[in-house]
Amino acid sequence: MVPDPAAPLTFPAGFLWGTATAAYQIEGAAQEDGRTPSIWDVYSHTPGRVRNGDTGDIATDHYHRWPEDIEIMSGLGVGAYRFSVSWPRVQPTGNGPASVKGLDFYRRLADGLLEKGIQPVATLYHWDLPQELEDAGGWPERDTAYRFAEYAGLVADALGDRVTTWTTLNEPWCSAFLGYGSGVHAPGRTDAADSLRAAHHLNLGHGLAVKALRERLPAEARISVTLNLHHVRPLTPSAEDADAVRRIDGTANRIFTGPMLDGAYPADIMEDTASVTDWSFVQDGDLGLIHQPLDFLGVNYYSPTLVSHHEGPSVHQSDGHGASEHSPWPSADRVAFHQTPGSRTAMGWTIDPSGLYELLTRVRREHPGLPVMITENGAAFDDYAGPDGEVRDPERIAYLRDHLAAVHRAIEEGADIQGYFLWSLLDNFEWAYGYGRRFGMVYVDYASQRRTPKSSAHWYAELARTGTLHPR
Residues facing 74 on adjacent strands: none
Residue 84 backbone phi and psi in degrees, to 5: -110, 150
Would you call 376 a catalytic residue per the annotation?
yes
Name the active-site residue from 71, 171, 311, 412.
Answer: 171
Q: In whole angstroms, what is the distance from residue 38 CA to residue 87 CA? A: 8
Burial 189-221 (b: 16+ CB within 10 A, else e): bbbbbbbbbbbbbbbbbbbbbbbbbeebbeeeb
Name the active-site residue from 27, 134, 376, 430.
Answer: 376
| One-letter identity of residue 255 | I
Query: How far is the first Cα of the chain from the last one, in angstroms, to the nearest whole number?
Result: 22
Would you call 240 a catalytic residue per the annotation?
no
- The residues assigned a catalytic role are 171, 376
